[in-house]
Chains A and B, each alone.
Chain A
């Protein structure tokens, strides 16, 4: 490449921290969403997994809370360039939610209260890689950050971690979600800097 910006020095580098290409470190928690923040009352909240042959598995809020929880501490990478390290969450592993789901589908379309969608391969949801989380930093998850519950898939750019998650539809073919249709990368691996289509 070899391009240099005249007179640009940047912040002192913290050699101990390795970030994905093009990312910078923040200590606050920025918000990115395409519209207003939906508010979902817990007594009407429901999470569903819909299989490719039309069966639906459902959990009420109370049922979700009754499931074994985990407390992952993970790094977040947002496509708008910020990264936040060591964030502490509490929620239910998708392995737990998928335990009784019979499916051979390869693709998932995650949908949210408010209409947001995002797609990813089913295998990226399993084997300890993804959670439905409802607490951040020991507090209930704020609506602006996706509460009452959001998906957390920290190995992909944060737009894949759908806020206000309502369900996951399992599909035999890949359906692009909201940002994926608007020109963002279909998979979104921050370490390969897959921000936009064609990256």
Chain B
């Protein structure tokens, strides 16, 4: 808590990276950006010519880097904002952004407890910021990521997560389609998945769960049933469906 006012700033799109056919990473340059912690999000405001405006929240995908702020946007069919951001916005265009928002769902590089990250779909975004913050800080805190997706083609940051990162274990779970020769049949997250891909409760890990509401509810319930302390389980629900 620092009493700083969150002002709207004009953010210019400076770089685009495709993650999947329906998601892309947008890198904005935001003058006087105050910095942020891994796990926080921003609010984006779009304004039409007749003055109509609307806002949405988007997690920041990378640790603080001067005036650069990276987001990854999943196109939601028939959405009002995400198709515009994930398809129309071009390098040089501007949007209004304010933040950072959210002081709870954050990981700080001085954290020493082992970390379990559980991502459902685009819920990987703030968790990726934590993975990158760990790497950037040279932290040795052991991290495990359990990343649930419909199919292999929906992986974000695939190349980066494939590269060895000592102390980071990544487990992919597919709910609809699996790669050839994949041992686990397609299906939703289970206790067995978090037993294998996570940490035993007596390691008292810090758990971060992010994704669609239904996924987050399931994952958090499983972690509780495994004996993890409710206070050590932080959740971010991208909503809005499910629940």
Contacts and interface: CB of A to CB of B under 8 A. Distances in A.
Nearest to B103: A182
Interface residues of B, number: 47
Interface stretch (B44-52, B162-170, B178-186): B44-52
A35 interface: yes
Interface of B is mostly: mixed
Contacts, number: 129
B220 A5 contact: no
Interface of A: 1, 3-11, 13, 22, 24, 26, 28-38, 80-82, 114-115, 142, 144-145, 176, 178-179, 181-183, 195-199
A36 B233 contact: yes
B18 interface: no
Contacts of A22: 45, 53-55
Interface of B: 1, 3-6, 10, 43, 45-49, 52-57, 80, 84, 88, 93-96, 101-105, 213, 217, 220-221, 223-224, 230-231, 233-235, 237, 239-243
B237 A33 contact: yes
Interface of A is mostly: loop
Contacts of B5: 196-199
Contact of B47 (A3, A13, A30): A3
A5 B105 contact: no
Given A5-B47, A80-B57, A29 B243 contact: yes
A142 B217 CA distance: 12
25 contacts: A3-B47, A4-B48, A5-B46, A5-B84, A7-B88, A13-B52, A24-B55, A24-B80, A30-B240, A31-B213, A31-B217, A31-B243, A35-B233, A36-B220, A81-B55, A81-B56, A142-B243, A144-B213, A183-B101, A195-B43, A196-B5, A197-B4, A197-B5, A199-B5, A199-B6
